[in-house]
Structure 1
Amino acid sequence: MISQQQNDLITRIGPVDPAGKLMRAYWQPAALIDELDGPRPVKAVKLLGEHFVLFRDEAGRYGLMDRDCPHRGADLAFGRLENGGLRCAFHGWLFDANGNCLETPAEPIGSNLCRNVKQRAFPVVERSGILWAYLGAGEPPAFPELDCFVAPDAYTFAFKGLIECNWLQALEVGIDPAHASFLHRFFEDEDTAQSYGKQFRGASADSDLPMTRILREYDRPIINVERTEYGLRLIALRQIDEERTHVRVTNQLFPHGFVIPMSTEMTITQWHVPVDDTHCYWYAVFTSYARPVDKQTMREQRLQLYELPHYTSRRNKANDYGFDPHEQATETYTGMGVDINVHDQWAVESMGPIQDRTREHLGQSDKAIIQYRRLLRQEIEKAVAGDKPLLVLDQAHARSIQGPATMDGIGPTRGWETYWMEVDVKRRRGAPWAAPVPAEIAAKVPHLSAAE
């Protein structure tokens, strides 16, 4: 249980809020590249509580600027792409991707007004199907060499979805290993051969046990949490019998991401990006270590739930998330269908726009959430003091963060500590692209290190 002041500190992300200052120290997903496809690559974007316009000019340069024209405040999201920039439809003022005013056509010939006008603009880069923006001061940080950024385009797929609640409660469901045994419980197991693109529907590594059965029958995991250079590592252990234990390794990627196994061949790197204090988008990059991603199938699967152009869920508060009491009694624990995104959305949106943490009672299974909040407060203090927070890297240190390692498999009850590392290393070494083995992991499995 925390105070209201503490809850406000770790949830509110406006420009003057302490957590907002922290968030502005990092690159933030602003849109999927797909969202600028089409004849008019201009999009209104709300990010960290501020309104922007994102566009791609005729030369292919990306720009992100304040949405209100500095002339008289008209909406630049309705502007025209022409003459090397974005032109306001009100009086024709033209701005390039860096916010420079190029023309003020209604002014007299020879006017110097344009030289004194500059729209606030921000750097934008493309990484793994996502357009990232840096809203902070000074030079942007380097991107860590995460698998999702290192893998070739053919081996990644990006998507997103809107959640109508504060970013923190959306993130915290992803670092809660215990909830999957209940929220995502299925009373019958599907054919694991049909699990492509679906979370918790395949079989765990080194077994033919479907994840749905493991989660259903072993609902009291032992949870270990470790501090890392990038955030936290979570290891959830579900003992099958004296010889076998299910091991699931996931990671919290500071400040608002996580990296989790989706299947034996694919991981999900996901960020919970604040739109404002009461809405967020999840952005995910699915990374394959075995074969090129079937992007068409992955996209079609997700468009069954999410509607364009805003990537809103068809199952939501307005229709009770599709709740069916008969299904709840006979098929799924929630009665809300088989898409776990709906389950997660219901859980976090049902807490309210900003969860009132002054009323909660945490237990042993919440240890990752407790440690993350402690870490978040610590890094907010650094940002406010002007110090460099966790995972704000310069180019010289970008390679210091690789991976991180994840896995989901059935290993030995005695010896699981190295088993999960071996599984991760073998998957990386067998990948058709150069998936780096994190130095920390390679050092702990020296019998595999020699093969590198």
Structure 2
Amino acid sequence: MMSREQNDFITRVGADAPAGRLLRQYWQPVALIDEFEGERPVRAVRVMGQDFVVFRDEHGQYGMLDRDCPHRGADLSFGRLEDGGLRCPFHGWLFDRNGTCLQTPAEPAGSKLCSRIKQKAYPVVERSGMLFAFIGEGEPPAFPAFDCFVAPNQYTFAFKGLLECNWLQALEVGIDPAHASFLHRFFEDEDTSESYGKQFRGASADSAMPITQVLREFECPVINLASTDYGMRLTALRDLGEGQQHVRVTNVVFPQAFIIPMSAEMTIAQWHVPIDDTSCYWYAIFTSFTEPVNKQQMRDQRLALYELPDYRPRQNKANQYGFNPYEQLTKTYTGMGNDINVHDQWAVESQGPIQDRTREHLGTTDKGIIAYRKLLVEAIEANERGEKALMMVDAGKASTLTGPPSIDGVSVGNMEHDAYWRGADAKRRADSEWASRG
């Protein structure tokens, strides 16, 4: 257990909170590029309790500014895109994507007010269908050369979803390899050839056994943990008998992402970005090593579960996450449908807006969560001392951070698990049109 003060130390994300100051020193996903389609590419964004406006100007360049107009505080997310920037409808003040005031049209001729006005602007970069922003101080860290960032556009797909809970409990579900055998248990196996775009519905690599069968019948994994330059690697092992072993390798990328297998062909890189202390978005990049991603199919599958424009889940606390007691008896462990995002959403939101960790009792399978919290506390304390923390890297170091391997497969012949996943990763890259180039 931990004290309430310790819980606040690692969960609160305001600008005056230690964890908030740490997270501001990393690039954060703030929008999907898809959100800027249509006639008016302007979006209100809230990150860690701060309000911003993100827009694409007439030249196709993205900008992110504080949302309150520096004149009288009106909401710039209702602004007009014109004349090379974003114009406040209140008095017509115009700002470009760098925050430069271009016009104060109601001021008298010869006024120099505009030259003295600067709206705060933040660096933004586009990566694999997402817009990342840096809202901290000083130079932002360099982007690592991870698969999700180096794969060609046609091999990636980005999406997001809203969660009504603190960012940390949303992240911690991905650092828990044991929960999948229960929370994501299906009592019937589907045709694995129909599993495209669905997590935990296909077959593991090097096997015809559905992953649903593996999770259902082998519910007690052995979990190994290894420290890495980017965070940590978790390996969950399930002994299937007859010399076969299910090997699942997942990764925690500090400070708030994980990279996990989606299927034998695809991985998921997922960030958990605080809106404020009690809500967050998950942002995910799906990366394919084989065929280009069918983006329309992936998008349609997810829009069946999420409503635009806020990407709010259709199944939520208000409708009991679609819970059906008959389904719980006969089809799924939760009785909440076939999509594991709904299962995860219930699990993390049911812990409360901010999980009360003074009441928890961790077990052996929580070793990844325990190790991550230690990393987080160490990084917060280092940042408070003015020191660089994990993954605050320069371009030279970032270029060496590749992969990371994320495998779900079955080894045979009593092969040592590290040898198996390393070989499976090497083969997948060798067979890939784009990953083999490096």
**TM-score interval (norm. to shorter):** over 0.9
Per-residue CA deviations over 1:401-443 (Å, capped at 9, x if unaligned) read: 0000110111133422201110011001111003577xxxxxx
* Structure 1 stretch displaced more, 143-152 or 407-416: 407-416
Matches within 5 A, 1:88-167: 88-167=88-167
1:223 CA drift (Å): 0.4
Per-residue CA deviations over 1:374-405 (Å, capped at 9, x if unaligned) read: 00000011111111111112112221100001
Contact 1:151 1:435 in 2 (8 A): no
Query: Counterpart of 1:381 in 2: which secondary structure?
Result: helix
Q: What TM-score, normalized by structure 2, do the two folds share?
A: 0.99
Aligned partner letter, 1:187? F
Name structure 1 gaps, 5 residues minimum.
Answer: 438-452
Equivalent pairs counted in the alignment come to 437
Matches within 5 A, 1:324-335: 324-335=324-335
Residues in 2 aligned to 1:226 and 1:329: alpha-carbon distance in whole angstroms: 38
1:332 CA drift (Å): 0.3
Query: Counterpart of 1:267 in 2: which secondary structure?
Result: strand
Runs of 4 or more off by more than 6 Å in structure 1? none
Query: Counterpart of 1:400 in 2: which secondary structure?
Result: coil
Matches within 5 A, 1:68-83: 68-83=68-83
Residues in 2 aligned to 1:435 and 1:336: alpha-carbon distance in whole angstroms: 40
Q: Which residue of 2 aligns with 1:434?
A: 435
Residues in 2 aligned to 1:431 and 1:348: alpha-carbon distance in whole angstroms: 36
1:139 CA drift (Å): 1.8
Residues in 1 aligned to 2:59 and 2:393: alpha-carbon distance in whole angstroms: 30
Residues in 2 aligned to 1:414 and 1:69: alpha-carbon distance in whole angstroms: 62
Matches within 5 A, 1:198-347: 198-347=198-347
Per-residue CA deviations over 1:101-127 (Å, capped at 9, x if unaligned) read: 111111111111112111111011100
Per-residue CA deviations over 1:2-49 (Å, capped at 9, x if unaligned) read: 110110010011111111111111110010000011111101000111
Q: Which residue of 1 aligns with 2:420?
A: 419
Q: Which residue of 2 aligns with 1:441?
A: none
Residues in 1 aligned to 2:78 and 2:84: alpha-carbon distance in whole angstroms: 16
Query: Counterpart of 2:241 in 1: which secondary structure?
Result: coil
Per-residue CA deviations over 1:113-167 (Å, capped at 9, x if unaligned) read: 1121111110111000000100011122210001000000000000000000000
Q: Which residue of 2 aligns with 1:53?
A: 53
Query: Counterpart of 2:39 in 1: which secondary structure?
Result: coil
Per-residue CA deviations over 1:162-200 (Å, capped at 9, x if unaligned) read: 000000000000110000000000000000000000000
Residues in 1 aligned to 2:187 and 2:174: alpha-carbon distance in whole angstroms: 22
Residues in 1 aligned to 2:394 and 2:166: alpha-carbon distance in whole angstroms: 30
Contact 2:226 2:232 in 1 (8 A): yes
Residues in 2 aligned to 1:184 and 1:57: alpha-carbon distance in whole angstroms: 43
Aligned partner letter, 2:403? G
Query: Counterpart of 2:435 in 1: which secondary structure?
Result: coil
Contact 2:64 2:97 in 1 (8 A): yes
Aligned partner letter, 1:241? G
Residues in 2 aligned to 1:179 and 1:349: alpha-carbon distance in whole angstroms: 15
Q: Which residue of 2 aligns with 1:63?
A: 63
Change (3 A) 1:223 1:358: same
Contact 2:246 2:410 in 1 (8 A): yes
Matches within 5 A, 1:338-377: 338-377=338-377
- Alpha-carbon RMSD across the aligned residues, in angstroms, is 0.9
Aligned partner letter, 2:435? A
Residues in 2 aligned to 1:394 and 1:295: alpha-carbon distance in whole angstroms: 33
Query: Counterpart of 1:229 in 2: which secondary structure?
Result: coil
Change (3 A) 1:436 1:424: farther
Aligned partner letter, 1:139? E
Contact 1:28 1:273 in 2 (8 A): yes
Query: Counterpart of 1:343 in 2: which secondary structure?
Result: helix
Aligned partner letter, 1:362? L
1:269 CA drift (Å): 0.4
Q: Give the fraction of aligned pairs with identical amino acids, expressed as a percent.
A: 66
Aligned partner letter, 2:152? P
1:348 CA drift (Å): 0.2
Aligned partner letter, 1:305? L
* Structure 1 stretch displaced more, 389-398 or 279-288: 389-398
Name structure 2 gaps, 5 residues minimum.
Answer: none
* Structure 1 stretch displaced more, 105-114 or 370-379: 105-114
Contact 2:289 2:435 in 1 (8 A): no
Query: Counterpart of 1:34 in 2: which secondary structure?
Result: helix
Residues in 2 aligned to 1:250 and 1:224: alpha-carbon distance in whole angstroms: 11
Residues in 2 aligned to 1:376 and 1:73: alpha-carbon distance in whole angstroms: 36
Aligned partner letter, 1:138? G
